[in-house]
Amino acid sequence: MCDTDFDFSAIVQHAKDIVIVTKAYPLNDPGPEIVYVNEAFTEKMGYTPEEVIGKTPRILQKEGTNRNDLDKVRQALEKKESVRVTLRNFSKKGNEYWVDLSILPLPDKNGKVTHFAAIQRDISDYKKLEQDLQTLCRTDPLTTAANRRAFNEIISQEFSRFKRSQKEYALVMIDLDHFKSINDQHGHGTGDHVLIEVTERCKDNLRVHDIIARLGGEEFCILLPYTNQEQAQKVAERLRQKIEIMPIISEGKRIKVTISVGISLVAVGDVDGHDAIERADKKLLEAKSMGKNRVCA
């Protein structure tokens, strides 16, 4: 045995990680009682020890706490085993935070588990970085519309929903007319501004659950769930008019922009979600060949 003069209770009390000690019972409501919290808990969570001693750690949980993770914790506690999960908790003020949570059983001198120690390391910054990276992987960095990869996943899910419910959806394929000329005459910076502005005008005239994606270059596709042919044409024509009637201002220059649009609805005979995309693309090419600045369905 090591011969030390360390005060281990002081080390725990002043540790940077949150430490909570609870009784091992009851597991059913109201839950295990808290018997100890360290300074890191008070600093991070905003509760004084007096406010939480005798309460349950469940006061840190809200609707946003993952139920599967809580079930995993519950199973380990029932078996008096250690468990480690990533958990989303909430402070006294309601602020969200993420922790790497390790729970350890604490046996008495007879080997009976009477308490649990929960050690929580704040990983909120890491989770935010992870979420930001996920967003970057699914979002076009210029326009913030969905990117092609994300849109393919969304269409796959929407097609599966259609197969189950037979509730149709529409696709609106959009291409900016004469976009190469805009880049050539005004520069790529202005071209980028035009793409951003067109995306924003589309978003401003869509429903909350409609999704716009930039498929590449100046080509966009919009998913309109629960939409029939007549409704899709009205949406497409409204977008075409909104973009045509108001020039885009960039670096003091007024740039007239128009779009060509192709529409397609999902069909019972489609093999997958890409069949409707291909039809919308053909309609877009038809609009281009007929003189641009028009909607074809």
Distance in angstroms between the alpha carbons of the first and the last residue of the chain: 82
Which residues, in sequence order, are CB contacts of 135 under 8 Å at separation 6+? Answer: none
DSSP class of 139: B
- Inter-helix orientation angle 124-138/148-165, to 10°: 80
Q: 262: closest CA among 214, 212, 221?
A: 221
Which residues, in sequence order, are CB contacts of 80 under 8 Å at separation 6+? Answer: 24, 105, 113
Which residues, in sequence order, are CB contacts of 190 under 8 Å at separation 6+? Answer: 182, 183, 250, 251, 253, 255
Q: Spot the catalytic one: 33, 158, 197, 218.
A: 218
244 Cα distance to chain centroid: 33
CA distance 297 to 291: 15
Q: 275: closest CA among 105, 115, 159?
A: 159
Tell me, yes or no, if 168 is annotated catalytic. no
CB 53 within 8 A of CB 34: yes
Given its phi and psi angles, is residue 46 left (phi above 0), alpha (psi -120 to 50 degrees) or beta? left
Return the number of other C-beta atoms located less than 10 Å from residue 196's C-beta.
Answer: 16
Backbone angles phi, psi at 260, to 5 degrees: -105, 145
CA distance 49 to 51: 5
Q: 44: closest CA among 117, 116, 131, 119?
A: 119
Which residue numbers are catalytic?
218
